[in-house]
Amino acid sequence: MSYFNATMTARARQLVSLYPEPRSALVPLCHLAQEQDGWLTPEAMEEIAELVGVTPAEVRGTATFYDMLHTEPVGRYVVAVCTNIACLLDGAIELLAHAQERLGIPVGATTPDGLFTLEEAECLADCDHPPCVQVNHRFVRTTTAEAFDRLVEELAAGGHAENIPTHGTLVRVRRSGGLRVDPGQIARERAAQEGSG
Amino acid sequence: MPLTDAPRIMTARLGDPDSYTIERYLETGGYQALRKALTMTPAEVTAEVDAASLLGRGGAGFPAGRKWSMLKKDPVTYLVVNGDESEPATFKDHLLIERIPHQVLEGVIISAYALQVTRAFVYVRGEFALGLERMEQALNDAYHHGAVGADIFSSGFSLDIVVHPGAGAYICGDETALLESLEGKRGFPRIKPPYYPAVIGLYHQPTVVNNVETMANIPWIVANGGAAFAALGAGRSCGTRMFALSGHVNRPGPYEVEMVKVSFRDLIYAEELGGGIRGGRELKAFIPGGVSSPWFGPEHLDLPLGQDEVGNAGSMLGSGAITVMDDSTCMVRAAWRITKFFSRESCGQCTPCREGSGWLERVLRRIEHGDGREDDLDLLLDVSDNISPGLRWPPQQTTICVLGPSIPSSIHSGIAMFKDEFLLHVKEGRCPVG
Ligand SMILES: Cc1cc2nc3c(=O)[nH]c(=O)nc-3n(C[C@H](O)[C@H](O)[C@H](O)COP(=O)(O)O)c2cc1C
Ligand code: SF4
Ligand code: FES
């Protein structure tokens, strides 16, 4: 019984093959699982553990270190409002308060219909467009309360599908091939590791 | 280039909305520097980078040429590119990754050739979904073009590159945490020594870690010669540099300027740069190099944008992020938000950083909320001193990485500059500003 569906299994195997050590694929595989299900299910963590040769607890322990990996279900759209310094200077705290009111949930919660999860983000490196908002890690450059409300309505109505895939889909561009240099190289590198370790 | 006639090394291509495509990159001379590098010996390429005196653009400012020559020869070595950009108010690598991914990649390929590395990893911050897509597409196109892969441009040199997504953790910007993260672990900075990944890096092998902007300078240096780069700027700070200008200016944005030849005043006030303070207000203070750097006041405006010039004045250019605060800004609130950031992002390995950051955040929060106590300022400085003894510059370090000693920067410089404002918050239980 496999957690990843057929397409995802092929992609998972490609990911593992890209690294000298399989464990390096752990985080990319977590992103892949989130692309399939929106969050990291226990079954996903078990299969990832098997793919990279660690225990499921190690996968969970690693995943929980990272803000973008969710071991609990989240909404279809994860809305992140940055309140760090540059955004703070331009009304971010007020926008975040508005977002909580509009969505009817506190930071960290998900709306009952499962559509939106609200997060208070640290700097998202788009500080010349404050306050900065991302939906599913896509910059929306929505800086006013009115624009925020419009965005929420449009998303709820199924808009923006082109630019904002549902939560979990991070990279829609597929690597067009595996490693090209020398297929025997990984084997040699691993042998060298074992020799030196 | 505003203010000086230095070449636009980083921004020349940005006027074109399609600058990220391989077609545009090739039309604008892309991958010609790589072709040139492949006709040189690896040692000759390294010598050019050394001659350029290119200081790393990731924050620490270590000379790239020197780092490269530290790489001890071993059967397996790696090049890792740091695209984790998350120092608050820094937004230049984000721009380079999204808008000129090929220029970054060309720098990576040339550097890999100079280092004779056959495997490179480009670690891109997970929150940059579009950046990751652009970088992955650029890599596919570069493979197709023959610029990456086996026998690059029939030179006999071969290289594979992997684009690796982060997953949200500021601390992974520290190069040793980044390597842990790339190995599929929690991003815990490694205990030093060894001080440099060039000794023990990825999978315990010698590894060079360089910043995205550092890499994006390499093609120009190879095309024009290290001496041409070194002729720009002054002292140890050569070339141009990207500065991310944010806060209360008329024109926040990323600006490329010649190092040292331009001052903070120019950057903030020049019409073609920041355009001055918004709404005719006055400058109150500015953060010169990301939130890890101590604050500056109007008296520092004429300092040139040079690494040593700013370092000697008691702060740092750091990640190249300048945040301007006008006279409507509550300094307690600013210091509190920055400290909250550190307390959220501390990885928790070291007690002074883990406990100290949370404590400082709580004290600042209560001052900001009007519940401050009389001795809270002393308490803030005392806890800060525990994290970074002496509160000197450059800071003393008692922790595994420099996130710890960065925490007090805004607090002790903020209190030094705005003690009355902090005190008024405590005494009157309200903000005197707004
Ligand atoms: C807490 C912390 C965060 C850092 N964040 C970044 C970052 O986001 N990007 C970066 O290039 N360097 C960052 N650095 C610096 C790196 O450790 C390293 O010096 C740099 O990537 C080396 O590249 P360079 O020599 O080309 O600058 C950070 C350092 C620390 C201690
Ligand atoms: S100083 Fe802070 S962030 Fe750095 S290793 Fe120690 S606890 Fe982690
Ligand atoms: S401070 Fe909000 S995006 Fe940088």
Question: Could you tell me if A113 lies within 8 Å of chain B, comparing CB atoms?
Answer: no
pLDDT classification of A100: cutoffs 50, 70, 90: very high
The whole-number pLDDT of residue A197 equals 41
What element of type H or E holds B361?
helix B351-368
| Residues of B with Cβ-Cβ distance to A138 under 8 angstroms | 129-130
Q: Are B368 and B333 in contact (CB under 8 A)?
A: yes
If you average pLDDT over residues B318-325, what whole number do you get?
97
Is B136 in contact with B102 (CB distance < 8 Å)? no
Determine the average pLDDT of the residues in B301-308.
97
What ligand has the least distance to the C-alpha of B347?
2
Domain boundaries, chain B: 22-230, 233-326, 331-428
Q: How far is the CA of B149 from the CAs of A21, B36, B254, B330, in angstroms?
A: 20, 17, 33, 53
Burial of A168 (0-12, 13-18, 19+ CB in 10 A): buried
Whether the pLDDT of residue B154 is over 80: the answer is yes
- How confident is the model over B386-401, as pLDDT tens digits? 999 999 999 999 999 9
Tell which A residues from 128 to 147 touch B, by Cβ distance under 8 Å: 128, 130, 134, 136-139
What pLDDT shows up at residue A184?
61
Residues 6+ apart with CB under 8 A from A170: A31, A34, A35, A137, B126, B129, B132, B165
CA distance A156 to A165: 13
pLDDT the model gives residue B1? 44
Q: CA of B130, closest CA in chain A: separation in Å?
A: 7
Instruction: Say yes or no: ipTM exceeds 0.90.
Output: yes
Give dist(CA B369, CA A69) in Å, integer: 33
Residues 6+ apart with CB under 8 A from B60: none
Please report which confidence band the pLDDT of residue B194 belongs to, taking 50, 70 and 90 as the band edges: confident
Ligand nearest to the CA of B122: 1
Contact yes or no for B89 and A85 at CB 8 A = yes
Helix extents (H) in B272-349: 307-312, 331-345
* Topology of the domain covering B233-326: Ubiquitin-like (UB roll) (3.10.20)
DSSP E strand boundaries for B3-118: 78-83
pLDDT for res B361: 98
Identify the band that residue B126 occupies on the pLDDT scale cut at 50, 70 and 90. Answer: very high
Name chain A contacts of B160, Cβ cutoff 8 Å: 179-181
Q: Checking DSSP bridges between strand A138-139 and strand B78-83, what pairing results, if any? A: unpaired
CB contacts of B345 in chain A (<8 Å) are 122
- Torsion sign (Cα): A134, B344, B325, B125: negative
pLDDT tens string B235-244: 999 999 999 9
Strand-pair category, A133-135 with A77-82 = antiparallel
Q: Which of B119, B167, B338 sits opposite A85 (nearest CB)?
A: B338
B90 CA: nearest ligand 3 atom: 4
Output the CA B175–ligand 2 centroid distance in Å. 13
Instruction: Provide the b/e sequence for B110-137 (b: ≥16 CB within 10 Å).
Output: bbbbbbebbbbbbbbbbbbbbbbbbbbb
Asked whether B303 and B267 are in contact (CB, 8 A), the reply is no
* Segment B51-76, tens digit of pLDDT: 999 999 999 999 999 999 887 666 66
Residue whose token pair is 């219909």: A113
Q: pLDDT grade, residue B107 (50/70/90)?
A: very high
- Measured CA to CA, the distance from residue A16 to residue A28 in angstroms comes to 9
Report the atom number in ligand 2 closest to the C-alpha of B404: 1
Q: Measure A72 CA to nearest chain B CA, in Å.
A: 16
Q: Domain A6-71 belongs to what topology?
A: Arc Repressor Mutant, subunit A (1.10.10)
- Note whether A106 contacts B: Cβ–Cβ < 8 A: no
Residue B432 in this model has a pLDDT that exceeds 90: no
Q: Tell whether A107 lies on the interface with B, counting CB pairs under 8 A.
A: no
Residue written as token pair 């240099």: A181
CB contact under 8 A, A173 and B137: yes
Question: Is the distance from the beta carbon of residue B353 to the nearest atom of ligand 2 less than 6 Å?
Answer: yes
For residue A54, the SS3 value is coil
Mean pLDDT rounded to a whole number for chain B: 96
Dist CA B262 CA B302 (whole Å): 9
Looking at beta carbons, which residues of chain B come within 8 Å of A196? 204
pLDDT above 70: percentage of residues in chain B? 98
Locate the ligand 2 atom nearest the alpha carbon of residue B354 and give its number: 7
Residue A143 confidence (pLDDT): 84
pLDDT of A45 above 50: yes
| Residue A171 distance to chain B (closest CA, Å) | 5
Q: B325 has which bridge partners?
A: B285
- A137/B140 CB distance under 8 A: no
User: Is the Cβ atom of B173 under 6 angstroms away from ligand 1?
Assistant: yes
Q: Which fold has domain B331-428?
A: de novo design (two linked rop proteins) (1.20.1440)
CATH superfamily name and code, A77-156: Glutaredoxin (3.40.30.10)
Is the model's pLDDT at A58 over the cut of 50?
yes
pLDDT value at position B198? Answer: 85
The reported pLDDT for the residue numbered A185 is 59
Q: Which pLDDT score, from 0 to 100, does residue A1 have?
A: 53
pLDDT the model gives residue B58: 96
B22-230, which class in CATH? alpha beta
Average pLDDT on B218-234 reads 98
pLDDT 10s digits, B29-41: 999 999 999 999 9
Cα(B346) to ligand 2 centroid in Å equals 6
Residue ranges of chain A that CATH labels 3.40.30.10: 77-156
**Domain ranges in chain A with CATH number 1.10.10.1590:** 6-71
Please state the rounded mean pLDDT for residues B331-346: 98
Please indicate whether, in this complex, the C-beta atoms of A193 and B204 are within 8 angstroms of each other: yes
Does position B286 have pLDDT exceeding 70, yes or no? yes
Q: Within an 8 Å CB–CB cutoff, is residue B343 touching chain A?
A: no
Predicted pLDDT of residue A187:
55
Query: Mean pLDDT across the stretch B298-327?
Result: 97
Position B215, amino acid? M
User: Which residues on chain A are in Cβ contact (under 8 Å) with B293?
Assistant: none
